[in-house]
Chains A and B, each alone.
Chain A
Amino acid sequence: MDPVAVSVKNLTLRYKTTLAIDDISFEVAGGELFGFIGPDGAGKTSLFRILTTLLVPTQGACQVEGLDVVKDYRQIRNICGYMPGKFSLYQDLTVEENLSFFATIFGTTIAENYDLIKDIYAQIEPFKKRKAGKLSGGMKQKLALSCALIHKPQILFLDEPTTGVDAVSRREFWEMLKRLRDGGITILVSTPYMDEAEKCDRVALMQAGKIMKINTPAEIIKDYPHALLSVRAGDVYPLMKELMKYPGTHRADTFGQSVHLSFKKGEIQPAELQKHLSTKGHTNVEIEEITASIEDCFMDLMTIN
């Protein structure tokens, strides 16, 4: 296997006036499960469309398995599997018809590559006579993945595969991706969910067309430069306002019912903060020292960039 599966150098994509991708470079090794993490509009879909030869970059060079995305688009179309962000199968065809259609247009059959999709397809096989439009979100996603895999691609591009899918299905899905990677397929996956970053071998954190950081999830967390407290107290909004004013605060971000407060090490003492909040009228204050999540790292990187 090629040690470098995807190589992107100084890639820029401009739609008329907006800059969708702003001078990014990265490499993905063969057999890697590589994640692109970022909010909507970060440029993930555009990047995937360039790599799957659907869009032509404005500037820069992209190679997939050593093939140029512009010049050799035909060969790339033979070796990559693509699952677009929106569910893009034929809703009026049954599960089986969809799968066999995609098998045929790639010049293969379901039987030939059944081994590869067995794990995934077995779960929806009982419904194979059902129309794809009538499947649940999780089943649709499994079918889409089966269709993307049926021609045994060397490399798989999954654009936000877990958006709109329930938590259990999401976890199952990532398990499947890991098994596929162990089987030797290079997988590039994008997701807006920060918690999914930890399932990838390496991730690129994307924001506004730029890659802010590329590393393994563990290294990214290790590089987090601040100390972090999780603070809880009744209403989040007044608490947040209070924490923003507190001397030494670097950032305060809401995470559900709690606020993550970052600061330079040693500048804030939890006990003092607790006292301060109590005098300001906040009740039930709970403060806990935590290690950063990818989301904390992402927020922090956003301030820097």
Chain B
Amino acid sequence: MKRFRAFVVKEFYHIFRDYRTLLILFGMPAVQLMLFGYVITNEIKDARIAIYDPSKDIVTRMISDKILSSGYFILERNLNNIAEIESAFRYGEVSLAIVFEPEFAKKMEKNGTAHLQIIGDASDPNTANILVNYASGIISNYLISINSEKVPYQIIPQARMMYNGELKGVYMFVPGLMAMLLMLISALMTSLAITREKELGTMELLLVSPLRPVQIIIGKVFPYVFLAFIDAIIILVLGNTVFHVPVLGSITLLLAESFLYICMALSLGILISTLTSSQQIAMMVSLVALMLPTILLSGFIFPVENMPWILQVFCYVMPPKYFITIIKSIMLQGNGLACVWQETLILLGFTLFFLMLSVKKFNIRLA
């Protein structure tokens, strides 16, 4: 035990004397959370639009006013002819154009229909989609409001977004970020820490000592369990205080699940380090094999359901996917273990699998 303690103390010295490690450990969670929370957002405000209105009657004015007063759009320019639409898009001045047909009010009065075109800039498909939907929504609302007396019956859908009423992107990103950062810190840092010993040649000395391989591995990993756990707490606290992401479920359960996930990532890190011999390779493997899938294939940013089946298969072997499901369920829906036991078991299975594989692969000797 004394030996083990000395080993862990040494490991903490390594971490606290390397400012880069410290920066990654404690700077990154905060910076990433701020970046994801503030910069990457699906909500759109103040999109610039152009309006071509050859009618200039009461109805088109009303519609334009509704659109511009919604808070989503600001008028960049009024167009004088159809040809200007293209140039307005081309120079990137606007991301949406509204085109009324001539004699709009008159046609509506006489025929009951009038045409209006919404043109989006689909070089950014997601934004274009959202903007077009916003604009259509505003127009339908207007239509309902002027027709409410005339039409005998109508259906008014009332949409309510459960668990994230304001559709805040942060609610998505906090769980995703936790999955990503804990994976990064745990897997990358431990795989680096172990391969560093190999690279420096100190692993030779450790192997020639009476320390058992298990003691070496656990001694190396122990500090990171602790530090990753602190990171998990930092993310939760920041998410809660700065972005008001709620934790509806049990905090104890949430922390316990985080702990399990950390152990899973650490055992993966150990596995990587037993298979690689240099820090550079370990880093490449960790980044390419862990980070990218965690971001892309875990349902963090892109929904799994929309992927081609072959990628979906990959998604199901990505541990972060399950962790994200678990914490979303606990944080946003307030669920208990009864709802996430399957995912928990899967994570546990991953952990045991990686641990067994790495113990099997760990060399009591060189090469």
A-side contacts of B364, CB under 8 Å: 73
Q: Scoring A residues 51 to 80 as 1 if CB is less than 8 Å from chain B, else 0, what string do you get?
A: 011111000000000000000011001101
Q: Name A84's contact: one of B6, B7, B17, B205 (CB within 8 Å).
A: B205
Closest Cβ neighbor of A147 among chain B residues = B205
A104-B2 in contact (CB<8A): yes
A-side contacts of B202, CB under 8 Å: 88-90
B-side contacts of A101, CB under 8 Å: 6-7, 10
Closest Cβ neighbor of A52 among chain B residues = B208
Q: Is B154 an interface residue (CB 8 A)?
A: no
B residues contacting the other copy or chain, number (CB 8 A): 24
From known contacts A88-B201, A90-B14, infer whether A54 and B6 are also in contact, taking CB-CB under 8 Å: no
Q: Is A93 an interface residue (CB 8 A)?
A: yes
A93-B10 in contact (CB<8A): yes
Q: Is A247 an interface residue (CB 8 A)?
A: no
B-side contacts of A36, CB under 8 Å: none
Q: Is B162 an interface residue (CB 8 A)?
A: no
Q: Is B214 an interface residue (CB 8 A)?
A: no
Closest Cβ neighbor of A131 among chain B residues = B17
- What is the CA–CA distance of A80 and B204 in the complex, to the nearest angstrom? 13
| CB-CB contacts below 8 Å: B319-367 with A | 364-367
Interface of B is mostly: helix
A-side contacts of B208, CB under 8 Å: 52-54, 77, 80, 82
Minimum distance in angstroms from B224 CB to a CB of chain A: 17
Chain A CB count within 10 A is highest, among B14, B200, B208, for: B208
Minimum distance in angstroms from A93 CB to a CB of chain B: 6
- What is the CA–CA distance of A91 and B207 in the complex, to the nearest angstrom? 18
From known contacts A93-B13, A107-B2, infer whether A78 and B366 are also in contact, taking CB-CB under 8 Å: no
Closest Cβ neighbor of B367 among chain A residues = A55
Minimum distance in angstroms from A110 CB to a CB of chain B: 12
A78-B207 in contact (CB<8A): no
From known contacts A82-B204, A93-B10, A93-B13, infer whether A56 and B365 are also in contact, taking CB-CB under 8 Å: yes
B-side contacts of A78, CB under 8 Å: 210
| CB-CB contacts below 8 Å: A208-230 with B | none
B201-A84 in contact (CB<8A): yes
Q: Is B241 an interface residue (CB 8 A)?
A: no
B-side contacts of A53, CB under 8 Å: 207-208, 365
Closest Cβ neighbor of B4 among chain A residues = A105
Q: Is A173 an interface residue (CB 8 A)?
A: no
Q: Is A49 an interface residue (CB 8 A)?
A: yes
A106-B210 in contact (CB<8A): yes
- What is the CA–CA distance of A84 and B205 in the complex, to the nearest angstrom? 8
Q: Scoring B residues 5 to 31 as 1 if CB is less than 8 Å from chain A, else 0, what string do you get?
A: 011001001100110000000000000
B209-A106 in contact (CB<8A): yes
From known contacts A82-B205, A91-B200, A92-B13, infer whether A105 and B211 are also in contact, taking CB-CB under 8 Å: yes
Minimum distance in angstroms from A98 CB to a CB of chain B: 9
B207-A54 in contact (CB<8A): yes
- What is the CA–CA distance of A74 and B365 in the complex, to the nearest angstrom? 11
Q: Is A97 an interface residue (CB 8 A)?
A: yes
Q: Scoring B residues 22 to 53 as 1 if CB is less than 8 Å from chain A, else 0, what string do you get?
A: 00000000000000000000000000000000
- What is the CA–CA distance of A107 and B17 in the complex, to the nearest angstrom? 26
- What is the CA–CA distance of A107 and B207 in the complex, to the nearest angstrom? 15
B209-A92 in contact (CB<8A): no
Q: Is B3 an interface residue (CB 8 A)?
A: yes
Minimum distance in angstroms from B361 CB to a CB of chain A: 16
A-side contacts of B210, CB under 8 Å: 74, 77-78, 105-107
From known contacts A55-B367, A93-B10, infer whether A102 and B3 are also in contact, taking CB-CB under 8 Å: no
B6-A104 in contact (CB<8A): yes
Closest Cβ neighbor of B201 among chain A residues = A88
Minimum distance in angstroms from A124 CB to a CB of chain B: 18
List 16 A-B residue pairs with CB atoms under 8 Å apart, sorted by A's residue number.
A52-B208, A54-B366, A56-B365, A82-B204, A82-B208, A84-B201, A84-B204, A90-B10, A90-B200, A101-B7, A104-B3, A104-B6, A105-B210, A105-B211, A106-B210, A107-B3
Which A residues are closer than 8 A to B by beta carbons? 15, 49, 52-56, 73-74, 77-78, 80, 82, 84, 86-93, 97, 100-102, 104-107, 147
Task: Beyond A84-B201, A88-B204, list 20 extra A-B contacts (CB 8 Å).
Answer: A49-B366, A52-B208, A53-B207, A53-B365, A54-B366, A55-B366, A55-B367, A74-B210, A77-B207, A80-B208, A84-B204, A88-B201, A90-B13, A90-B14, A90-B200, A92-B13, A93-B14, A102-B205, A105-B3, A106-B210
Which 8 pairs of residues, A with B, have the shortest CB-CB distance?
A: A88-B201, A104-B6, A54-B366, A86-B201, A82-B208, A92-B17, A105-B3, A105-B209
